[in-house]
Structure 1
Amino acid sequence: MRLFAPALIAGTLILGAVAAVAAPQIAGAAGAAGARTTILPGQWEYSYRVGPIPAGSEDRCLKQADVEQFAKGICTRKYTCDYDTRVVQDGKVQLKGTWTDKKGRVAPVDAKGTYTPESFRLNVHMKTINGIPLAGVMEAKRVSATCTPE
């Protein structure tokens, strides 16, 4: 079970990083006008890998309110996320910053990727809170404009 802990941590960090992709784009300098949605709401399929090892997959329903919420909280509840770099525009994503857990341990995160309104791919490089370097990939595609009933 201990071997899976880095994969679970990476999966959590990758999930948080993806939220920035779903967030509305913040245009240019402070005070610049306009925001647009970078991906569309609907039913999405996600898959995660840590190195070459599959780390999980899931289906998620993203409603418009969920997409907007991602802009406010691009983190899981277990971490405080600070990004020095957060660029989501013109089909490209770049994130660089740190995640801090509730015990004050810091994990540096660097993610780059691409997106379309119906898909995205993020390559995430990070160190766990224990200093173990990890590389992961998160891919997602929109499978339907409407969500499946739960």
Structure 2
Amino acid sequence: MTKYIAITLSLAALLFSSCSQKMKMVKTPKADSLAVEAVWKQYVKALSGKNAGTLKRLSLKQVYCQPCAIQAGTGDLVSADAFVKNILASLPKTQLWTAIKTSRHLIVTEKIKNYKPLNINVNDEILDVYDIWYVTNKPGKVKGYESQRYAFQFVKDRGQYKFFGLTAVQ
């Protein structure tokens, strides 16, 4: 498990190191971890029940979706509605869904300085992105889900934790 954590954190750091922002991975404070975990459980329950309304309610109006961009050949910022339609159709066929059902994941916080994403109004100098990482045993067969490490990302928006995006690292 320690090796998994180290690899995941290294890959996440590499992903953001090419950006102009400064990113630091830190241990998630317990209060935030518990709150994000609670929202994540609601999210997984909504995925299992194919409850599009709950998924949209738990998400920002627009979310980043790297697998969606790969599938569609477009940019990775999509409406929550488009993301939900895509994820409900694609996810059950992937190794990622199998990993999610095992409940084995890691929550870490990315503290990103001077990051101004297009889908949320950031007033602070540092944006906290809460990542829920999963590792699959082998690449999936669904286009866009070939990676072996995934992070479901959440941010705090107006006091509520909201789904921010899904990223994949091979």
Q: TM-score range by the shorter chain?
A: 0.3 to 0.5
The TM-score, its normalising length taken from structure 2, stands at: 0.31
Q: Whose helix fraction is larger, Structure 1's or Structure 2's?
A: 2
The TM-score, its normalising length taken from structure 1, stands at: 0.34
Q: Whose strand fraction is larger, Structure 1's or Structure 2's?
A: 1
